[in-house]
Amino acid sequence: MKGSRFWAWLIFAVGTAYFFIPLIATFEFSLRMRRGEYSFDAYRVVFGDPRFQETFAYSVTVAIFTIILGVALVVPTAYWIRLRMPHLRPIVEFATLLPLIIPAIVIVFGYIRMYGSSSPLPFLATARGTDALLVIGYATLALPYMYRAVDTGLRTIDVRTLTEAAQILGAGWITIIARIILPNVLIAVLSGAFLTFAIVIGEFTMASLLNRPAFGPYLQNIGANRAYEPAALAIIAFAITWGCMSVIQILARFAPKSANRPN
Amino acid sequence: MADPFLSIQNVKKSFGNVSVVKDFNLDVGAGEFVSFLGPSGCGKTTMLRIVAGFEEPSAGKVLIGGKDVTGLKPNQRNIGMVFQAYALFPNLTVAQNIGFGLKVAGMPKAEAQQRIDEMLNIIKLPEFGDRYPYQLSGGQQQRIALARALAPKPKLLLLDEPLSALDAKVRISLREEIRSIQKKLGITTIFVTHDQEEALSMSDRIVVMNEGRADQTGTPFEIYNRPSTKFVANFVGTLNVLEGTISDAASGTVKINAEEIGLKGKLNGSKSGDTLSLALRPEAISLGRKAGNDSNLTGQIADVHFLGSVIRVRVGVGQNVVSLDTFNSPSSPPPVVGQKTEISFSSGDVLVLH
Amino acid sequence: MTQASISDPAVAAHSAPPDANRGFRLPTHWLGVAPFFIFALMFLILPTLYLVVGAFQNNEGQFTLDNITQLFRDASIRDAYRASIKISFWSAILGALAGLAIAIAIVRGGLPGWVRSATMTFSGVASNFAGVPLAFAYLATLGRLGLVTVLLRDVFDINIYAMGFNFLTTWGLVAVYLFFQIPLMVVIITPAIDGLKREWGEAAATLGATQVQYWRMVVIPVLWPSFLGTVILLFANSFGAIATAYAFAGPSLNIVPIKLYAQIRGDVLHNPHLGYALAFGMIFITGLANIFYIWFRTRSERWLK
């Protein structure tokens, strides 16, 4: 017993070193912009850069639309599968897992070839269309996480009874989903939303290949041209990810723990 | 006991400052079925885990077959154990589960297979060898767990609340089955439970545990009818307690409310004016006067529960409420709430609790 | 009486709606899942199929295997695949083993509760901290002016660059990818380790098994499917990763996703269909890994519900 605890501490210590040394080093590096003393100059430069503000605002907007699209797509589907078509569950689950198998670069490559300006569905002909395609692409990337989160949330509520109760009171499908189901899985949906945000905000491949002025390509561009700002940006990106994950953890505390009738 | 098979001597166990087992002593004869009975937190499971070797006692020792095993690891003790949550290995079939101990011991395959078949027959699941645990009901899983524990022919069988996770019907049939298998194999068994009915119906002897101590050790009959402490009396069976005051210690007269009863020879040393708790089992009290009952008290019927063949009546006697059972006789009307009545009992059945 | 009431038109009319309802409901049934399937078809399956089909066509649209054989004949493409597979394989294996060790340590190691919750929170963050910022972090750590590089040089007199250290090697990238691979493993495998019941170990011990026998006969077989599944997920995760590597070196690093990136941007292979074949190769490899996993799971894990 004592021996195993020693090993556990050792593994934990090595792991902590492996993960914290780069973070500490990055933070230290980000403070070195002013010669001979530590300062937050790099952060001041980054935050003051209009390109930073523009690309960050663009990525936040895209993330919000991605979340809306993801929720609109996943919640009714997961609900319907649970309520009426459980036999389709394996197919839907397989489809939601595909983005983990098909790399993002391949998906976006397919988009570029299929939805070019001369195709029947010319998403890429206009900037707005390309924005839409980027949102769609991100929604597919987030699909596995969003679906898992929502499906887990639905498992903890009694979908059938809630639906029947609402129907007896005269509610239609839209009302049921928007007013009954969605609020009940809100915590799960929000968890999925923040995870989506964390994935989308710094995404590089799709944004770069679709030529959109997003935060990811901006990061890459800064990395290629500057010395200290990238370190500051890495710390900022880490803080954003940390923020999203903390919100998810806090949300998890409010999630309903047990079901009236599991499954 | 001339030659105890399992001997627990002065065992103590504390976790930090918390003393969980306080000076526990017990001798168990070969082939005996002994239950540790007590509420949760009384130390019964800790005591069992000390016998199994999962916990090291802070003091004292454990002997199995005359050999001191206190320092031995669980896998060197030659014991079988059944857990509350079955604990079958999910990746192994029923036959592989039962054969686990045999395989580990290096028994040749053919011989092991024979033993597995034998065990499957003993637990009456001969066709189940190829199934996986998740395909079985709780009762079936627990029988497999029993077969697995018994397959390597352990010298001692430890049962840690094996019936608690099962539903009522299965629980009763399985406890009879466990007892009959135990008798057939003659294996020394320790059974931990918080269910007094299980302990009373299965055991040769019961150890009632309270706050880390053995409050009383005895046959089910002794434990139920002659509880030696208030705790044992309360924990085992339903008990009516009447508060009384000794009005005359010499003649053994005790005053309950305004009435007096005689308890000569039961007061062992209490003085006049002392208050005491008198305990009576429901089955020792009759509604109305009855031949052979030398003590009577008056009261008022507070509550009537019709349970079929039996009617459970609660009678208010002064500040106390007494439960008693009367047989349902179709020809006479049941008692009515509010009715004045008398209850009677034999002073010989009164337990004086100290 | 009964007969009469059944033929009664009013009653008959009452009993009809369920049937009519069923006939009417069938399309709405499908309507509920139609948006999802249309979306999946349009933006997941068809674009992928487009590339797959394109991989087996020549410029004139005729069927050919030339593009596929070209993948093997072209030394640069072959090297890219080899490097990508090597990086993904090792980062998956090492990440899985390290992640497993950490998960076992925090679940079974008898460490205080805060260690586990802190590790889980951090793993959630770090598994999502990939892409460009990760490259920045490593450049700030082990770049020419990075903290660790400077400390090693000034304090320990070890010049890692003089020793030939370079991020843009297989092992350099493996070390960097482990930063998100290990936490991802921790996040996924911890629930599986939680599923190992303490009683199993105790039951095995009372049956006479040593710790090693218990691990060999129970723990490893029970964890194996989750472990293998996660390894494959980690493999796919790093096989498609591009941003980190691209941020280190731009288009010069020869791994498959960067090659494909360059091809999409500027047709560097001078053959669009070879580009499709490149993409097809990626799906083929990650798909193959998953098929292997599914096959393994169904074949040898009959005990899984």
- Strands B275-280 and B285-287 turn out to be unpaired
Whether C202 sits inside 8 A of B87 (CB atoms) is yes
Q: Residue C135: which of A74, A77, A223 has the nearest Cβ? A: A223
Per-residue pLDDT of C147-183, as tens digits, reads: 888 888 888 888 888 887 777 788 888 989 999 999 9
pLDDT for the residue numbered A260:
38
- Does the structure show a pLDDT above 90 at A171? no
Per-residue pLDDT of B302-319, as tens digits, reads: 998 888 888 889 999 888
pLDDT for the residue numbered C21:
44
Residue-range domains of chain B with CATH = 6-235 (3.40.50.300), 240-353 (2.40.50.100)
| pLDDT tier at A121, thresholds 50, 70, 90 | confident
Whether B134 sits inside 8 A of C303 (CB atoms) is yes
- Does the structure show a pLDDT above 50 at C17? no
Number of domains in chain C: 1
Whether B8 contacts chain C with CB within 8 A: no
| Domain assignment of residue C2, yes or no | no
| Domain extent for C135 | 76-300
| pLDDT tier at C2, thresholds 50, 70, 90 | very low
Please give the single-letter amino acid code of residue C187: V
- Does the structure show a pLDDT above 80 at A1? no
| pLDDT tier at C279, thresholds 50, 70, 90 | very high
- The chains found to touch A (3+ Cβ pairs under 8 angstroms) are C
pLDDT for the residue numbered C16:
40
- Does the structure show a pLDDT above 50 at C1? no
Chain A interface mutation, best of C29, C36, C151, highest count of A Cβ atoms under 10 Å: C36
ipTM computed for the complex:
0.87
- Strands B33-37 and B205-210 turn out to be parallel
| pLDDT tier at A263, thresholds 50, 70, 90 | very low
| pLDDT tier at C299, thresholds 50, 70, 90 | low
pLDDT for the residue numbered C25:
52
Number of other residues whose CB lies within 10 A of the CB of residue B288: 12
pLDDT for the residue numbered A107:
95
pLDDT for the residue numbered C28:
67
Of the ranges B200-204, B256-260, B277-281, the best mean pLDDT one: B200-204
Q: Which residues of C touch A72 (CB under 8 A)?
A: 35
Strand order in the sheet with B67-68: B18-28, B6-15, B59-64, B67-68
Whether C279 sits inside 8 A of A109 (CB atoms) is yes
Q: E strands along A119-235, which residues?
A: none
Per-residue pLDDT of C40-78, as tens digits, reads: 999 999 999 999 999 999 888 889 888 899 889 989 999
Least CA distance to C220: which residue of chain B? B91
Q: What is the 3-state secondary structure (H, E, C) of B153-183?
A: CCCEEEEECCCCCCCHHHHHHHHHHHHHHHH
- Does the structure show a pLDDT above 90 at A65? yes
CA dihedral A188, A192, A198, A201 (to 10 degrees): -130
Q: What is the mean pLDDT of residues A200-220?
A: 92
Whether C269 contacts chain A with CB within 8 A: no
B24 φ/ψ sector (left φ>0, alpha ψ -120 to 50, else beta)? beta
C253, C245 in Cβ contact below 8 A? Answer: yes
Q: Which of A37-46, B106-115, C291-300 is the least confident region?
A: C291-300
Q: Residue C200: which of B54, B76, B89 has the nearest Cβ? A: B89
Q: What is the CATH number of domain A50-254?
A: 1.10.3720.10
C198, B66 in Cβ contact below 8 A? Answer: no
**How many angstroms separate the CA of residue B165 from the nearest CA in chain C?**
14
DSSP B254: E
Q: Residue C240: which of A98, A105, A112 has the nearest Cβ? A: A105
- Does the structure show a pLDDT above 90 at B40? no
- Which structure tokens are listed for A169? 């009171």
The CATH number linked to C144 is 1.10.3720.10
| Domain assignment of residue C261, yes or no | yes
CA distances from C256 to C71, C239, C253, C261 (A): 11, 8, 9, 8
pLDDT for the residue numbered A79:
87
% of chain C at pLDDT higher than 90: 33
Look at C61 and C261; give whichever has higher pLDDT. Answer: C261
Q: Residue B75: which of C197, C205, C303 has the nearest Cβ? A: C205
Per-residue pLDDT of B8-26, as tens digits, reads: 999 999 988 889 999 899 9
pLDDT for the residue numbered A259:
40
